[in-house]
Every structure is written in structure tokens, then in C-alpha cells.
A and B are shown apart, each in its own frame.
Chain A
Amino acid sequence: MSDGQGHGAHAHIAPPSMYYKVFAALIVGTVLTVAAAKVDMGPLNNVVMLLIACTKATLVILFFMHVRWGSRLTWIVAMSGFFWLALLFSVLGDYVSRGWVPETMR
């Protein structure tokens, strides 16, 4: 274990119970997603499905991928991926806004 010389890469070691709790939450999320898909909620179906998926992804990133105990630089780099992804998705704004101005292309 520790050599007492300060050379060890000693990070936070989470107890197994934490991993099992996160695992249980992920399974519950999966069951909820399948159940919610069977109920017709109109456009809300997509919102519910993506909210659950984002929650599950956040749990995996924070606890399984140890970002919760990571350095601030790791936080920023991880978040930057999703920031650029949001920019990429903003391309949909083009399709949604077509026809808003009369006599422009549909």
C-alpha cells in the first residue's frame, strides 16, 4: 500500500456499497424508461426519456468514472464535450425555424 514517501497515486477509494447504490439507480432508471415509453404522453415522452437517460449518464460520469473526485481540469474537459455537443445539436434550430418568416423557403 502506501510507501510513506508520497509517491502513491492515492485517489479516493469509494466503498463497494456506493457502486451498488449507483447500479441500483441505473437499473431503476432503465425500468422507468421502458415503462414510460408504454404510456402515451405525446411530446412529453421524449422529455421523460431523455431526462432519465441524462440522469443515468450523469450518475455514470460522476461515480463510475470518478469525475466526482476528479480535478477541476477534468471537470472542465468533461463538460466541454457536452458543451460542444449542444452547439452541434443547435443545427436543428435551422429545421425548426423554417417557414417562420413568410415567403422564405419551407
Chain B
Amino acid sequence: MRDAHSEHFPGPIHQPPLASNVDAIQPHDHEELPHHPKLQHHFDDMAQQVEASTLGMWVFLVTEIMFFGGLFTAYLVYRYINPEGFAEASHHLNVTWGAVNTIVLIVSSLTMALAVRSAQISAPPKTQVAWIGATMLLGATFLGVKAIEYYDKFTHHLVPGPNFHWEGKHPAPAEMFYSLYFCMTGLHAIHMVIGLGIMTVIGFMAWRRTFDADYYTPVEVAGLYWHFVDIVWIFLFPLLYLIGGHFTE
């Protein structure tokens, strides 16, 4: 069975043999061909359907890249103007919490990938739900650590606004750094919360035996989203937490 599965996706334009091409022009008689209950009528087959869904998700992720890209560009410009101020401000972030959260997200990406794989090999619903649950638990852990960090910043008057207080040499760039810190990590955290919502639905679907080797598109597409959010953090962690590593007063 494994061999049948190891084939690559066919191209976006599915090319059936010539005889099928003729069939395609004539009205389809769906009653003649047994097809998967999850195959929607506007697709030729399941491969074309999963290809279309994956491509659609990637188009959405491109808009997400540009969404976060705007914030990264703002970071780039302000850091270019105030290199010392940004290093000084970054020095006050807790590298340990940031590193722990990076590891937590990477592990969650692994469990997400294994959740998709468990659906691909028609693993029992319990196995699929277990991987999805593990992913959600790690996502919640990430948000918990983020909450501890935010609480710490509030108590130390590091939230931009009238109560912002900075002892160092560069108060204005530091406030700009923390504005960007809260915008970038905040937008990322919102994506995590949405991700947890998506995974709740996916977990429920998996429990209801929705996914098997023939149909696992929702897990695959949810996985793309989850991995994208992980990638954003892969860049946020060094750019926010690690630029003050060798900062000296």
C-alpha cells in the first residue's frame, strides 16, 4: 500500500488519459463513478481537491507574510535609526523565557506534523486526537509563558504609554522598541489563539472519524497555518530577545 502513497502530487492541472478528456467535455454522470463522499462536484478527483486547498492556503499565507512584513519593516527602519537604544531595550527582555517558548513552538510544530501524518496513514481517531491535543497543549503553554512575560513588563513599567519608565540612556528608542515588541508578539499571540480555535475544530473532526488516507485536507491546511505561526516566532525570537546579548551599560 505504501508504494501507492509515495507518488508525488500530480500537477495543478490534472491530466487524465485522452479518453477521460472526452468524457470531461460531455456532462458527467456521477452515478456511474463511485467517488469519495468528501469529493466536491467541481473537482475531478481527491488529488485535485487537496491541491486546490493547499494552494489556496498558501495564497492566504502570502498575505500573512506581508501582514507581518509591515511590522518587520517598521522594526528594521527604527532599529537602523536607533541601534544602541534597541540593544539596550532588548537587554531587558528575558532570553530564557523567549528560548523556552521557541522550543515549545518547535515541539508543537513536530506534533502538528505528526498529527497530519497520523491522518495520512489512517491512524485511529484516538491517535490523531492525541497529536492534535499535544499540539494544542503546547500552544497553550506558549501563551501562558507569554502572559507571564507581559505581566512582568506591566509591573516594570515597560508598556509604552504614560506609565512607561526607562532608567537607561535611550528612553525614546526603548519605548519604540517596546511598542514594536507588543505589536509583533501581540499579533503573533492573536494568531496562536486563532490557531487553538482552529485546532479545537480539527480535533473534534478527527474524533468524529472525518480524516483518513483519502481525505485529510483540513488537518493538512490547519498544519500549514500552525507552521507559519511557528516560522514568525523563529524570526521574532532573535530579533527581539537576542540583539542586546552583549550590551554593556
Chain A interface residues (CB < 8 Å from chain B): 1-3, 5-14, 16, 19-20, 23, 26-27, 30, 33-34, 37-40, 45-46, 49-50, 52-53, 56-57, 60-61, 63-66, 69-74, 77-78, 80-82, 84-85, 88-89, 91-92, 95-96
A71 touching B51 by the CB < 8 A rule?
yes
Chain B residues whose C-beta falls within 8 Å of the C-beta of A81 in the assembled complex: 58, 61-62, 65-66
Q: A9-B214, A64-B112, A84-B66 are in contact. Are A23 and B106 (CB under 8 A)?
A: yes
B234 touching A60 by the CB < 8 A rule?
yes
Chain B residues whose C-beta falls within 8 Å of the C-beta of A96 in the assembled complex: 80
B238 touching A8 by the CB < 8 A rule?
no
7 A-B pairs with CB atoms under 8 Å apart are A6-B45, A19-B110, A38-B246, A53-B235, A64-B112, A73-B55, A77-B62
Chain A residues whose C-beta falls within 8 Å of the C-beta of B224 in the assembled complex: 65
6 nearest A-B pairs in the assembled complex, by CB-CB distance: A81-B62, A37-B245, A37-B242, A9-B46, A81-B65, A9-B50
Cα A63 to Cα B239 in complex, Å, equals 24
A65 touching B73 by the CB < 8 A rule?
no
Chain A residues whose C-beta falls within 8 Å of the C-beta of B36 in the assembled complex: 3, 7-8
B54 touching A70 by the CB < 8 A rule?
yes
Per a CB cutoff under 8 Å, which of A39, A60, A77 touches B246?
Answer: A39
B62 touching A7 by the CB < 8 A rule?
no
Dominant secondary structure of chain B at its interface with chain A: helix
B223 touching A19 by the CB < 8 A rule?
no
Q: How far is the CB of A86 from chain B (nearest CB, A)?
A: 9
Chain B residues whose C-beta falls within 8 Å of the C-beta of A7 in the assembled complex: 35-36, 39, 45-46, 214
CB interface residues, B 181-221, toward A, < 8 Å = 212-217, 220
Per a CB cutoff under 8 Å, which of A38, A56, A80 touches B245?
Answer: A38
B47 touching A56 by the CB < 8 A rule?
no
Per a CB cutoff under 8 Å, which of A70, A80, A88 touches B73?
Answer: A88
- Least CB separation from B33: chain A residue: A5
Chain A residues whose C-beta falls within 8 Å of the C-beta of B34 in the assembled complex: 3, 5
- Least CB separation from A19: chain B residue: B113
Per a CB cutoff under 8 Å, which of B54, B80, B107 touches A74?
Answer: B54
Q: A19-B117, A60-B230, A96-B80 are in contact. Are A88 and B69 (CB under 8 A)?
A: yes
Cα A53 to Cα B223 in complex, Å, equals 20
A77 touching B214 by the CB < 8 A rule?
no
Chain B residues whose C-beta falls within 8 Å of the C-beta of A40 in the assembled complex: 246
Chain B residues whose C-beta falls within 8 Å of the C-beta of A12 in the assembled complex: 5-9
